Chain A
Amino acid sequence: MADAVRTSRTVRKPAQERLWTWLMLPGTLWMTVFLVASLILVATLAFGTTDPLGNPRFGFVLDNITALADPAYRTVLLRSLGYALVTCAVCLLIAYPVAYAIATSGGRHKNLLIAAIVVPFFANYLVRMYGWSVVLSDDGPLLGALRAIGLADGGTRILQTGAGVVAGLVYGFVVFMIIPLYAAMERMDTSLIEAGRDLYAGPLRTFLFVTVPATRQGAAAGCVLVLLPAMGDFVSAQLMGGPDQIMIGNLIQDKFFQGQNWPLGSALTMLLMAVLFLGMLGYLRRTRKDEAEAVR
């Protein structure tokens, strides 16, 4: 009997494998057509041209790639990188205390507090940005409060400045920093903090030399999760910044909708991907090293 079962199962083996393949096939095909092929199309069109009517034509010219060397584009790219990095830094400054406070003093309300941070993230991105721009507006509540306590004067503005753009990006993506950092702190061995305290390190030193190193993988993951959308965003620069604060996302949007220069838009898209790819490579090398050290 047992033998019969075993043989029937060995007979079934290739059929089993086939079922898993059949299950994978539709989704993989779908993703290959709609994602991989479309991304290859963008990469290809970056070498294309536009005909006199403005229609994109495939080809192999390097015009769009060399056009990227234009100082105007370089300025926008550097500004986007700058804004994204500052956003990342501000998110870290916010996320560390918030994640720390919830992880160490949240008690049984921890999940509720984290949910309270995640839920607004599910509100429509544009509606949130719009509400945020109302709060930051020249006669809005935030500047009003700052003026009342003397931290701002009548001429202080947040909207239409770079700070406004960064404020928008931070509001949009800070949750991506808090969640991985919180997860890292939850995993962290809290006796390390107590050990630091027992060695008479002050709260700041314990934080800098114990908590930060123990949670750096969470912070690195958070940085990637914030940088990715922040670099590609075009809503924040549009709603919170002025014409002087456009980011690479605004350029891409412009080339596809107003400028009708799709090949150049594709080249800019590939440039954005290249910058992010380099960042990801750095992140992967870093985490590999961390993991190798952890194994050792």
Chain B
Amino acid sequence: MRAARGRRRGAERRPRFAIAVTAVFFALLYVPIGVVVLFSFNSQKSLTVFDDVSLRWYGVFLRDDVLLNSLGMSLRVSLVAMAGSVVLGVALALGLVRGRNRLGSFAGLVMLVPLITPEIVTGVAAMLLFKGLGIALSTTTVMLAEITFSISYVTVILRSRVAALNPEIEEAAMDLGATRRQAVRLVTLPALLPSILASAVLVFALVFDDFVLAYFTTGVDPQPLSVRIYSAIRFGVQPTINAVGTLMLAGSVALIALALAIPRLFGRRGGLDLLSGK
């Protein structure tokens, strides 16, 4: 009996049960997305019977001014949030790693708050702040809230990159006559460029898809695309949503691929530790 098991050990190394669970998991992970993509090409309104391949719902989307305005707004918000959070986040990451003082320990703590707070809380808080300051909710308030939320992401990603950089390259530049500021601008920032670009693309994708913060900080018109999708879903089956969802999915996948590819384009590996769970 034991000998038999000993002989079988090689086969046992493949955890068949775990592999079976994983296969089922992947199926369940992709079936909902597949359903959305498939039925976006349905010629009929049904979500259960696939009739014929057609681009009908894409046409409906392209003629829907409300949805197109929302798309435009989401794109503007994502661009502004990306620019704002990258500028603030990169500076913060540099300061946090290199300068160690009391402001740094406070900043390090504050930066972690969005990551350990449910989005509904930050959403409610941002909404109350704008109302308290007498600022009407609008595209601008969504941008401000999304920048706040994204600074943390940029800082977390860039912080580990800055920490991995050898400070001696800055010292070397300074020994060659550069001021500290020139050393940062001419040596450190170029070295960080792949990570900065990758985190920028990531922030763009996250902000574009964000729902909760946008929901709490948006005005009436225009509303971000995800907020429009939310109201459409609540009022029942809307085949146009399948088309919009498919386009958003394609956009997100393209952006994530870009974010992962950027470090390689620069001939370096490990610009974004997205996959190692760090």
Cα A117 to Cα B275 with chains together (Å): 10
Chain B binding site: helix, strand, loop or mixed by DSSP? helix
CB nearest to B106 among chain A residues = A28
**Interface residue from B26, B148, B249 paired with A34 (Cβ < 8 Å):** B148
Known: A24-B103, A101-B22, A124-B229. A203 touches B15 (CB 8 A): yes
Is B256 an interface residue when CB atoms closer than 8 A count as contact?
yes
Check if B120 sits within 8 Å of A232, measured CB to CB: yes
Cα A229 to Cα B98 with chains together (Å): 32
- A62-113 interface (Cβ within 8 A of B): 94, 96-98, 100-102, 104-105, 111
Cα A239 to Cα B131 with chains together (Å): 29
CB nearest to A238 among chain B residues = B234
Chain A binding site: helix, strand, loop or mixed by DSSP? helix
Check if B120 sits within 8 Å of A249, measured CB to CB: yes
- A1-26 interface (Cβ within 8 A of B): 5, 9, 12, 15-17, 19-26
Known: A20-B98, A27-B151, A134-B32. A122 touches B205 (CB 8 A): yes
In the complex, identify which listed stretch (B54-62, B109-117, B190-198) lies at the interface while the others stay far away: B109-117
Check if A24 sits within 8 Å of B252, measured CB to CB: no
Cα A266 to Cα B127 with chains together (Å): 11
Check if A21 sits within 8 Å of B118, measured CB to CB: no
CB nearest to B102 among chain A residues = A21
- Rounded to whole Å, the gap between the CB of A113 and the closest CB of chain B is 8
Check if B104 sits within 8 Å of A130, measured CB to CB: no
- Residues of B within 8 Å of A12, CB to CB, are 174, 179-180
Known: A134-B32, A182-B277, A272-B121. A24 touches B92 (CB 8 A): yes
- Residues of B within 8 Å of A126, CB to CB, are 211, 226, 229-230, 233
Check if A124 sits within 8 Å of B116, measured CB to CB: no
Known: A34-B144, A122-B252, A183-B276. A21 touches B101 (CB 8 A): yes
Cα A129 to Cα B99 with chains together (Å): 43
Known: A30-B147, A105-B19, A253-B120. A36 touches B174 (CB 8 A): no
How many of chain B's residues touch chain A, expressed as a range?
Answer: 35 or more
- Residues of A within 8 Å of B104, CB to CB, are 20, 24
Known: A97-B17, A130-B245. A38 touches B116 (CB 8 A): no
Cα A265 to Cα B276 with chains together (Å): 38
CB nearest to A106 among chain B residues = B22
- Rounded to whole Å, the gap between the CB of A177 and the closest CB of chain B is 11
Check if B99 sits within 8 Å of A20, measured CB to CB: yes
Check if A24 sits within 8 Å of B18, measured CB to CB: no
Check if A98 sits within 8 Å of B25, measured CB to CB: yes
Residue-by-residue, is B221-241 near A (CB-CB < 8 Å gives 1, otherwise 0)? 000001001100110000001
Known: A24-B96, A273-B121. A19 touches B181 (CB 8 A): yes
Known: A24-B104, A180-B277. A41 touches B120 (CB 8 A): no
- B102-146 interface (Cβ within 8 A of A): 103-104, 106-107, 110-111, 113-114, 116-122, 124-129, 131-132, 144-145
Residue-by-residue, is A178-215 near B (CB-CB < 8 Å gives 1, otherwise 0)? 01101100100000000001001001000000000000
- Residues of A within 8 Å of B174, CB to CB, are 9, 12
Check if A23 sits within 8 Å of B129, measured CB to CB: no
Cα A60 to Cα B22 with chains together (Å): 54
In the complex, identify which listed stretch (A135-143, A148-156, A157-165, A288-296) lies at the interface while the others stay far away: A135-143
- B144-187 interface (Cβ within 8 A of A): 144-145, 147-148, 151, 155, 174-175, 179-181, 184
- Residues of B within 8 Å of A146, CB to CB, are none
- B6-64 interface (Cβ within 8 A of A): 9, 12-15, 17-19, 21-22, 25-26, 28-36, 39, 47-48
**Interface residue from A34, A139, A229, A252 paired with B48 (Cβ < 8 Å):** A139
Is A116 an interface residue when CB atoms closer than 8 A count as contact?
yes
Is A278 an interface residue when CB atoms closer than 8 A count as contact?
no
Is B88 an interface residue when CB atoms closer than 8 A count as contact?
yes
- Rounded to whole Å, the gap between the CB of B186 and the closest CB of chain A is 14
**Interface residue from B95, B120, B144, B253 paired with A23 (Cβ < 8 Å):** B95
**Interface residue from A127, A200, A273 paired with B245 (Cβ < 8 Å):** A127
- Residues of B within 8 Å of A114, CB to CB, are 275
- Residues of A within 8 Å of B184, CB to CB, are 19
Is B2 an interface residue when CB atoms closer than 8 A count as contact?
yes
Check if A16 sits within 8 Å of B33, measured CB to CB: no
- Rounded to whole Å, the gap between the CB of A285 and the closest CB of chain B is 15
Is A35 an interface residue when CB atoms closer than 8 A count as contact?
yes
Residue among A30, A100, A197, A235 with the highest chain B CB neighbour number at 10 A = A30
Instruction: Give A residues with C-beta under 8 Å from B.
Output: 5, 9, 12, 15-17, 19-28, 30-32, 34-39, 41-42, 45, 56, 94, 96-98, 100-102, 104-105, 111, 114-120, 122-132, 134-135, 137, 139-142, 171, 179-180, 182-183, 186, 197, 200, 203, 228-229, 231-235, 238-239, 249, 252-253, 256, 262, 265-266, 269, 272-273, 276, 280
Known: A39-B122, A124-B211. 8 other contacts (CB 8 A): A19-B184, A23-B91, A27-B151, A28-B107, A115-B260, A122-B255, A131-B35, A256-B127
Can you pick out 7 interface pairs between chain A and chain B where the beta carbons lie within 8 Å of each other?
A31-B107, A56-B131, A100-B15, A123-B249, A124-B209, A124-B229, A127-B244
